Amino acid sequence: MRIIMTADDMERTLARIAHEIVEKFNREIAHAVMVGIRTRGLPLAQRLQARLRDVAGVTLPLGALDITLYRDDLTQIGPAPLVRKTELPFRVTDRPVFLVDDVLFTGRTIRAALDELIDYGRPRTVRLFVFIDRGHRELPIQPDVVGQWVATELDEIVHVLLREIDGRDGVVVTRRTEPLNFEALV
Amino acid sequence: MTGRTEPASDMTSPGRWHRRHLLAIEPLSREEILTVLDVAAAMKEVSQRDVKKVPALRGKTVVLLFFEPSTRTRTSFEIAAKRLSADTVSFAVSTSSVSKGETFLDTVLNLQAMAPDAIVVRHRSAGAPYFITNYIDACVINAGDGSHEHPTQALLDAMTVRERLGRLDGLKVAIVGDILHSRVARSNIFLWHKVGSEVWVCGPPTLLPPVFRQWPVRVTYRLEEALEGADVIIVLRLQLERHVSLRFPSIREYFQRYGLTRERLKYAKAGVLIMHPGPMNRGIEIESEVADGPDSVILYQVSNGIAVRMAVLYLLLGGATVP
């Protein structure tokens, strides 16, 4: 198991991501909406929303996207994965959409998210912010702002732990068969 | 998806679905029922979008095989399948070769040769959907078999109650009317028993035989007793087309003893939910003012029917084929 970030590192990285968003997309922020991809993109989007309020003085409307029904591997994986609600309490047409996820890997989740978003309308732009980019893309998709780039092997899993879901913050990389050792993170 | 970083514990979520068919509520566990309802809650959002369609079941074929007349259930399944991007084919018995003398089994074998992914079947004989599973590879969904079960109806009833009352346990559920002929009653009895609510069944003795005393229900022939403190009232249609002999003196007398009226509603809790699986006989089992009144959730049931059927189709067809 490799520890990539501690809770403190994550706070600093989130602050940097927020500043980078303001720097790069200052002209879009006033009209943008923030959309987190379930599961872990959603709390990250909430945290970025709070950061952007502090940094840029605007509170972006927040939505959640569940991309399960848009996956391209539904017929290849075991039992049908559970579906949770997509909640976009705003119109996306003609607005910049700030899409947030925890880990960018093959790019297939983002492909599914883009397809789902477009079923809701025609965004002016879609920007992608990810906390970790672990490489190994299988589709031509790239992020606009990255928390940290992490070199990984294909048989590794990147765990972005969030206190809202996991009770603690941190980023660790394990082998696929290796159990997660929470104690090492303290 | 491979890019997701779910912790190991999520992989063995107890909510996983492993069944190939949905034939009845009776064999389901409480957890399986809740899984369907959770997925249905997510599916409901799809019906509220501008583009009411998701690609989850693209390329799947769903055959709607209805040997009994049905508008609501067939349409509901068809809309559900289409909102998930599945292709649907309706096979109505009146226009099919069954009317030319083909046996049920031959019809099924012919369908099997066309390789559908799911068959939604309604048949006058109890057990017909189960029978089919022995001959075909497709997933089978029971849309009502004789007086046996109508599982998606009970699931949509439960979804409606959970949405409205916020829970499924500790409730008094009164099922009133033609219990004898009702598959809706049987599915609901199993469901509410499994989720921890008390079921009362009520009807004239000719439509509520003593065998029900062996079921996990309270039996009464007095409507007032069934309604007393009820949280949910499920009014059943008087299925006159199934009655082989006269079960009560007259429709008028039936309404007087067992019809749900505003007067009788006073026995139930304030804010009681009034449900009916449809089609409704106004003035026979239910007074119009009650059916259209503030406590009636009959039309919500119809909307939720689509969400529940989307959930069932998705859970059966959405993953890899279960061997």
Q: Is residue A1 part of a domain?
A: no
Tens digit of pLDDT for each residue in B271-288? Answer: 999 999 999 999 999 999
CA gyration radius for chain B? 20
Q: How many domains does chain A fold into?
A: 1
Q: How confident is the model at residue B311 (pLDDT cuts 50, 70, 90)?
A: very high
Q: Is the ipTM of this complex over 0.90?
A: no
Q: What is the mean pLDDT of residues B187-216?
A: 96
Q: Is residue A17 part of a domain?
A: yes
Q: What is the mean pLDDT of residues B20-34?
A: 96
Q: Assess whether B164 carries a catalytic annotation.
A: no
Minimum Cα–Cα distance from A69: chain B residue: B56
Q: Tell me which of A1, A65, A74, A109 to substitute to probe the interface with B (most B C-beta atoms closer than 10 Å).
A: A74
Q: Does the CA dihedral B106-B107-B113-B118 come out positive or negative? A: negative
Q: Is residue A161 part of a domain?
A: no
Q: Is residue A171 part of a domain?
A: no
Q: What is the mean pLDDT of residues A55-65?
A: 97
User: Helix H segments across chain B?
Assistant: 8-11, 30-46, 72-83, 104-113, 128-133, 151-165, 183-194, 223-227, 251-258, 262-265, 288-291, 298-317
* Residue B97: pLDDT over 80: no
CA neighbours closer than 13 Å in the CB half-sphere of residue A96? 16
Of B124 and B241, which is predicted with more confidence?
B124
Q: Assess whether B100 carries a catalytic annotation.
A: yes
> Which positions ≥6 away from B76 have C-beta within 8 Å?
B302, B305, B306, B309
- Minimal CA–CA distance to B5: which of A173, A48, A154? A173
Tens digit of pLDDT for each residue in A11-37? Answer: 999 999 999 999 999 999 999 999 999
pLDDT at residue B11, rounded to an integer: 34
Q: How confident is the model at residue B13 (pLDDT cuts 50, 70, 90)?
A: very low
Tens digit of pLDDT for each residue in A138-176? Answer: 999 999 999 999 999 999 999 999 999 999 999 999 999
Q: How confident is the model at residue B321 (pLDDT cuts 50, 70, 90)?
A: low
Q: How many CB pairs under 8 A join A and B?
A: 104
Q: What is the mean pLDDT of residues B245-254?
A: 86
Q: Is residue A19 part of a domain?
A: yes
- Minimal CA–CA distance to B118: which of B27, B22, B38? B22
Å between B39 CA and nearest CA of chain A: 5
Q: Is residue A142 part of a domain?
A: yes
Of B323 and B197, which is predicted with more confidence?
B197
Q: Is residue A172 part of a domain?
A: no
Q: CA B171, CA B173: separation in Å to the nearest integer?
A: 6
CB atoms inside a 10 Å sphere around CB B308:
29
* Residue A136: pLDDT over 80: yes
- Decide if B108 contacts B136 (C-beta within 8 A): yes
Minimum Cα–Cα distance from B50: chain A residue: A120
CATH number at residue A55: 3.40.50.2020
* Residue A75: pLDDT over 90: no
Query: CB-based contact (8 Å) between A61 and chain B?
Result: no
Q: What is the mean pLDDT of residues B163-187?
A: 97
% of chain B residues with pLDDT over 90: 82
Q: Assess whether B122 carries a catalytic annotation.
A: yes
Of B35, B73, B107, B160, catalytic: B73
* Residue B151: pLDDT over 70: yes
% of chain B residues with pLDDT over 70: 93
Q: What is the mean pLDDT of residues B61-78?
A: 94
Of B7, B45, B311, which has the smallest distance from its Cβ to A86's Cβ?
A: B45
Q: What is the DSSP letter of A149?
A: E
Q: CA B225, CA B203: separation in Å to the nearest integer?
A: 11
Domain enclosing residue A64, as ranges: 8-153
| Mean pLDDT, all residues of chain A | 95
Q: CA B219, CA B174: separation in Å to the nearest integer?
A: 10
